[in-house]
Amino acid sequence: MNGMAGGGAASLDSDMAWWRKAVIYEVYIRSYADGNGDGIGDIPGIRSRLPYLRDLGVDAIWVTPWYPSPQVDGGYDVSDFRDIDPLLGSIDDAENLIGDVHELGLRIIADIVPNHTSDRHRWFQSALAAGSGGPERDRYVFRRGRGANGDLPPNDWRSRLGGPAWTRVAEPDGTPGEWYLHLFTAGQPCLNWDNMNVRSEFLSILRFWFDRGIDGFRVDGATRLGKNLEMPEESPNPEGYGPGEHPFFDRDEVHEIFRDWRRVADEYSGERTFVAEAWLPIPERWARYVQPGGLHTAFNFGCLHAGWDAIRLGETIEMTTRAMGRVGAPSTWVLSSHDAVRLVTRFGRAETMQHHADKSKNYGRETDLNLGVRRARAAVLLALALPGVMYIYQGEELGLWEIQDLPEEALRDPFWEYSGRLIRGRDGCRVPLPWSGTEQPFGFTSGCTPPWLPQPDEWRDYTVEAQEGKRGSMLELYRAALRIRRDHPALGGGTLRWLEKSGQALSFARDPGFICAVNFSGDPYRIPGRGDILLTSGPLLGDCLPVDTAAWITLDKY
Ligand code: BGC
């Protein structure tokens, strides 16, 4: 233990409600930094690169699952929630990381995956061994099949990767037996959240990590815990159902579970927090996840879906701030993640929108990376100027693009095999980070084993080393923006006031004395307000913003 049990360091405790205004950096652990030379990122790697994150200016990190796992789905298939995968480190490493993070004045959020475990989890193994009807099976969702011999799946539900959401098991005597539910791969059996043992076990897992000083959790698939097996899945699109009526998405019973979780977080000092991976197009349904007594914040995929479109972005900003404001929760802003197409690629295409659930990613579409970079630079200034919490996915601050031509044999995302090798999946945004040097592995690993996904040669100009101190680099833009966001009294929490919200421009004021303006039109846009320019995403045209450019203006000295 690192002495952090029950709370953070004194300096952290004095900054209450940090989670209302933080900038949180997503560390996709396999791809951030490799400390032991096996070509896969790990906890010692993160520790060695913490000063970089402090200098970047973020407030916290969210680390994707680090638990023991067969890695069928990048660690989102957990076989023990109270340990660390030996591939990624040890419990001691995790405790040391938590200690180091706090020492640097940062926070750390772990990822918890409550919808399912791995099929290697001892619960699932004992459920298989116990046979039909035993209490071990009740932790999961086992059912008899339909048809005379039970050889048809129990219902018509589909896995999110395609194909039936059910797999049949062999009973201990070898005969074909019951089926179990898995909304994702067959290696990720769904837990039964009506089982009180599952509920209490997860409360104990939360305590296990809170006791070790973790500052919070990202709650994977928070909308999926409730299930009504009697209902058919009439449409794969949750939006085709009435509020709370989908058989396994956003059911009302999930909130009771999260109220229990919140009570556990509140037992600890230091503002421990949850962020739900929950986004719903109906504001009232979405806001229920963060109502008082529920989870603290919820991801907002609205901006991801909106693409580079002023009308849609304006609408989503408006909808988000209203929905969250009504229940007293901060807004969050997410432009990309380990599940989405890299921003500069998305914004360099004619179609800039992407639904976060669409893993096909429009590969092969023509991409103008210069255009993408220009827009991505403007987008980050827009998002960082909004009130609330901002998530930055690793590598966005380097302007990395989606790698669309990874060799087929390198692909690890289960979507690839599940789709019959039609959908390449999400690996293209998960290529290990380039830190330094002019050739692969670009400082990602010190060992001889190459990175688990190959990096392109062109990244030699996009390493941290190549961008550090370089005028106009993406990295320096992020650093400057994060410095201002931290220092300017108008930024972070609070509200915004629109100056213009049209198809041509988005411009808003933050009090005291701050304006953000973004030009989406084909014509130069006169910078509003009579203040000093603090930062722009690209060169100005006199007093005007060129197309796809953003500016931050301060009206007062600060
Ligand atoms: C994670 C994905 C993962 C899925 C299944 C998602 O929310 O972000 O990467 O495949 O959950 O656990």
- From first to last of its 558 residues, the chain has per-residue pLDDT tens of 333 333 333 344 344 599 999 999 999 999 999 999 999 999 999 999 999 999 999 999 999 999 999 999 999 999 999 999 999 999 999 999 999 999 999 999 999 999 999 999 999 999 999 999 989 999 999 999 999 999 999 999 999 998 899 999 999 999 999 999 999 999 999 999 999 999 999 999 999 999 999 999 999 999 999 999 998 887 767 777 888 999 999 999 999 999 999 999 999 999 999 999 999 989 999 999 999 999 999 999 999 999 999 999 999 999 999 999 999 999 999 999 999 999 999 999 988 988 777 767 667 778 999 999 999 999 999 999 999 999 999 999 999 999 999 999 999 999 999 999 999 999 999 999 999 999 999 999 988 999 999 999 999 999 999 999 999 999 999 999 999 999 999 999 999 999 999 999 999 999 999 999 999 999 999 999 889 999 999 999 999 999 999 999 999 888
Catalytic residue among 239, 253, 267, 351: 267
Beta strands of 279-425 (E only): which ranges?
Answer: 297-298, 332-334, 389-393
Give the C-alpha separation, 180 to 25, whole Å.
Answer: 36
Burial class (CB in 10 A: 0-12, 13-18, 19+), 437: middle
Give the C-alpha separation, 506 to 379, whole Å.
Answer: 11
Per the structure block, which two tokens stand in for 518?
A: 């973004």
Residue 553 Cα to ligand 1 middle (Å): 38
Which of 30, 73, 415 for a ligand 1 pocket mutation test, highest count of atoms within 8 Å of Cβ?
73
Q: Residue 85: CB within 6 Å of ligand 1?
A: no
Q: What is the bridge-based pairing of β-strands 23-27 and 107-112?
A: unpaired
Q: Residue 459: CB within 6 Å of ligand 1?
A: no
Give the C-alpha separation, 319 to 311, whole Å.
Answer: 12
Per the structure block, which two tokens stand in for 203?
A: 């409360």
Per the structure block, which two tokens stand in for 238?
A: 């949750």
Segment (H or E) for 283:
helix 283-287
pTM for this prediction: 0.96
Q: Which atom of ligand 1 is nearest to the CA of 116?
A: 12
Q: Residue 26: CB within 6 Å of ligand 1?
A: no
Q: Which atom of ligand 1 is nearest to the CA of 220?
A: 7
Indicate which residue's Cα is closest to atom 4 of ligand 1.
76
Place of tokens 């976060």: 356
220 belongs to the catalytic site: yes
Q: Residue 339: CB within 6 Å of ligand 1?
A: yes
Which of 78, 185, 337, 339 for a ligand 1 pocket mutation test, highest count of atoms within 8 Å of Cβ?
339
Residue 89 Cα to ligand 1 middle (Å): 21
Q: Which atom of ligand 1 is nearest to the CA of 337?
A: 8
Residue 357 Cα to ligand 1 middle (Å): 10
Place of tokens 């897992």: 205
Beta strands of 427-524 (E only): which ranges?
Answer: 497-501, 505-510, 514-519
Indicate which residue's Cα is closest to atom 10 of ligand 1.
73
Helices 254-266 and 196-211 pack at an angle, to 10 degrees, of 30
Which of 69, 220, 430 for a ligand 1 pocket mutation test, highest count of atoms within 8 Å of Cβ?
220
Torsion on CA atoms 473, 476, 478, 479, rounded to nearest 10: 170
pLDDT at 192: 98
Residue 487 Cα to ligand 1 middle (Å): 35
Residue 47 Cα to ligand 1 middle (Å): 24
pLDDT at 359: 67
Which of 76, 337, 355 for a ligand 1 pocket mutation test, highest count of atoms within 8 Å of Cβ?
76
Indicate which residue's Cα is closest to atom 3 of ligand 1.
76
Segment (H or E) for 129:
helix 122-130
Helices 369-385 and 474-487 pack at an angle, to 10 degrees, of 10
* Amino acid at site 309: D
Give the C-alpha separation, 420 to 417, whole Å.
Answer: 5
Q: Residue 220: CB within 6 Å of ligand 1?
A: yes
Q: Residue 277: CB within 6 Å of ligand 1?
A: yes
pLDDT at 9: 39
Residue 184 Cα to ligand 1 middle (Å): 9
Residue 67 Cα to ligand 1 middle (Å): 14
Give the C-alpha separation, 356 to 320, whole Å.
Answer: 17
pLDDT at 86: 98
Which residues face 168 on adjacent strands?
179
Indicate which residue's Cα is closest to atom 12 of ligand 1.
76
Q: Which atom of ligand 1 is nearest to the CA of 113?
A: 12
Per the structure block, which two tokens stand in for 444?
A: 């990602």
Handedness of CA 292, 293, 296, 301 (dihedral sign): negative
Give the C-alpha separation, 424 to 416, whole Å.
Answer: 5
Of 282, 150, 295, the C-alpha closest to 221 is: 295
The Cβ of residue 107 has, within 10 Å, a number of other Cβ atoms equal to 28
256 belongs to the catalytic site: no
Residue 297 Cα to ligand 1 middle (Å): 18
Indicate which residue's Cα is closest to atom 9 of ligand 1.
339
Residues counted in the chain: 558
Segment (H or E) for 544:
strand 544-545
The Cβ of residue 133 has, within 10 Å, a number of other Cβ atoms equal to 10
Give the C-alpha separation, 383 to 309, whole Å.
Answer: 14
Q: Yes or no: say if 343 and 372 are a contact pair by the CB < 8 Å rule.
A: yes
Indicate which residue's Cα is closest to atom 1 of ligand 1.
220
Q: Residue 413: CB within 6 Å of ligand 1?
A: no
Measured in whole angstroms, the distance separating CA 21 from the mean position of its chain's CA atoms is 17
Indicate which residue's Cα is closest to atom 8 of ligand 1.
339
Residue 356 Cα to ligand 1 middle (Å): 11
